[in-house]
Amino acid sequence: MPKLRKPKIPDAVVPPPLRKPAKPGSAGTPKGQAPSDLKEAPERKSAGDKMLEVGKEAPIDALGWVDQRLAASGFLTGMLFRKVPKGTNWFYTLGSATLFAFIVQATTGVFLAMFYTPSATQAYSSIAHINNEVPLGQLVHGMHKWGSSVMVILIFLHMGRTFFFGAYKYPRELNWVIGVVLLILTMTMAFTGYLLPFDQRSFWASIVGININGTGPVVGPYLSDFLRAGPELGATTLSRFYAIHMLLVPGAIIALIGAHMYLVVKLGTTAPPWVKAQRPKVAAPVAPLEAGANGNGRVNGNRANGSPVDGEETSA
Ligand code: HEM
């Protein structure tokens, strides 16, 4: 893979200690003239102006302090300033949209967890409390509830994009496999979350879902037993679904999204199938100094018939 040129980082975002010193005589003055700060006595700044200047530089200084210790700017520059293939279009935003939906789910989920009680007797009333009494509770609950459907729709669209663009082929097979696991985990989140309000609809829908799992070959019955956490759907089922929904699956999703993103950055994205690959511009071999010495009429690599690529020469 060709090495990407590092983009120039604007001076304004580089902390002062890391900035390149200006070349002598180049500090905004035309050649041959002394810099203005040498001609006139420096202007005295008031304490307020100095404070303002320090205040303005403070965030950049703080970032510089962190960066000197983490050396993260090289990694971030490489990650954020990537070249993308020709023909990249709106369909390529579906992965980021799925990521955004996940972040919304994680954020709203944290706020819901502050008020939700995972108990068979209190779950329903705690959701009613969130919707009716907690400030913005109905909004946050609504975002989480509808957001789950949005994420499921987006993940399928993203999978469709990668499938129809052939992005599952070499060398991205592993990223496809990670994607499949992410799809299963996302569906698990949607399924386990559905039971949490513990109302009539979620209760009966979960029984249907658990029974469907039970029909799977070999592992099906074990899976449905594991999910039900007892002979009947009840309080232990709710606790189990809550632990899976809150701890197990989000942790796995975060780790896998990290691996997925690493591979996207490492391998780059696929060009759309209708964009033809360009022939690499092969430098023609350097010909001997004496023109015509090798008998093919080349002088310094230029062929007599003008063909630029090896193997393209015709017999004519
Ligand atoms: C939580 C779920 C997921 C998130 C957050 C996510 C995120 C992303 C992002 C941001 C990209 C790069 C931009 C793009 O191509 O859209 C990407 C690429 C990719 N994703 Fe996902 N993805 C998820 C699920 C999936 C699933 C379910 C599959 C397939 C089964 C999949 C397969 C791929 C592949 C093969 C690429 C490389 C695309 C290419 O090279 O053009 N991803 N993903």
- The predicted-structure confidence for 256-292, as pLDDT tens digits, reads as follows 999 999 999 999 999 999 998 888 777 777 766 655 5
Rounded to an integer, what is the distance from CA 106 to the centroid of its chain? 15
> What tokens were used for 155?
């993940």
With a 6 A CB cut-off, is 182 part of the ligand 1 pocket?
yes
- For the ranges 37-46, 100-109, 115-124, 245-254, which has the lowest average pLDDT? 37-46
pLDDT of res. 8: 73
> 124 pLDDT exceeds 80?
yes
pLDDT of res. 306: 35
CA angle 234, 213, 246 (to 5 degrees): 55
> 6 pLDDT exceeds 90?
no
Q: Rounded distance, CA 195 to CA 148, Å?
A: 13
Residue with CA at minimum distance from ligand 1 atom 24? 179
- For the ranges 3-17, 103-117, 199-213, which has the lowest average pLDDT? 3-17
Confidence of residue 163 (pLDDT cuts 50, 70, 90): very high
pLDDT of res. 77: 87
Q: What is the mean pLDDT of residues 118-136?
A: 98
Q: What is the mean pLDDT of residues 9-17?
A: 70
pLDDT of res. 3: 66
With a 6 A CB cut-off, is 213 part of the ligand 1 pocket?
no
pLDDT of res. 315: 32
Q: What is the pLDDT of residues 207-218, one digit of tens each?
A: 999 999 999 999
| Phi (first) and psi of residue 17, to 5 degrees | -65, -25
- Which CB contacts under 8 angstroms, 24+ apart, belong to 281-285? 281/308, 282/308, 282/309, 282/310, 284/308, 284/310
- State the average pLDDT for the chain: 86
With a 6 A CB cut-off, is 168 part of the ligand 1 pocket?
yes
> 232 pLDDT exceeds 80?
yes
What is the whole-number distance in angstroms between the Cα of residue 242 and the centre of ligand 1? 27
With a 6 A CB cut-off, is 287 part of the ligand 1 pocket?
no
The model carries a pTM of 0.76
CATH architecture of 90-267: Up-down Bundle (1.20)
pLDDT of res. 42: 64
* Tokens 């093919």, located at residue: 296
What is the whole-number distance in angstroms between the Cα of residue 56 and the centre of ligand 1? 39
With a 6 A CB cut-off, is 270 part of the ligand 1 pocket?
yes
More confident residue, 235 or 287: 235
pLDDT of res. 222: 97
What is the whole-number distance in angstroms between the Cα of residue 186 and the centre of ligand 1? 13
pLDDT of res. 268: 93
- Ligand 1 mutation target, pool 84, 102, 103, 162, most atoms within 8 A of CB: 162
> 30 pLDDT exceeds 80?
no
> 41 pLDDT exceeds 50?
yes
Q: What is the mean pLDDT of residues 236-257?
A: 98
Provide, rounded to the nearest whole percent, the portion of the chain with pLDDT above 70: 79
Q: Give, in order, the Cα–Cα distances in Å from 47 to each of 44, 51, 310.
A: 10, 6, 70
With a 6 A CB cut-off, is 96 part of the ligand 1 pocket?
yes
Residues 263, 172 contacting (CB under 8 angstroms): yes
pLDDT of res. 17: 66
Rounded to an integer, what is the distance from CA 294 to the centroid of its chain? 54
pLDDT of res. 313: 34
With a 6 A CB cut-off, is 141 part of the ligand 1 pocket?
no
Beta pairing partners, 299: 302
Highest mean pLDDT among 2-6, 51-55, 235-239: 235-239
CA angle 76, 258, 112 (to 5 degrees): 110
> What tokens were used for 217?
């070959």
What is the whole-number distance in angstroms between the Cα of residue 38 and the centre of ligand 1? 57
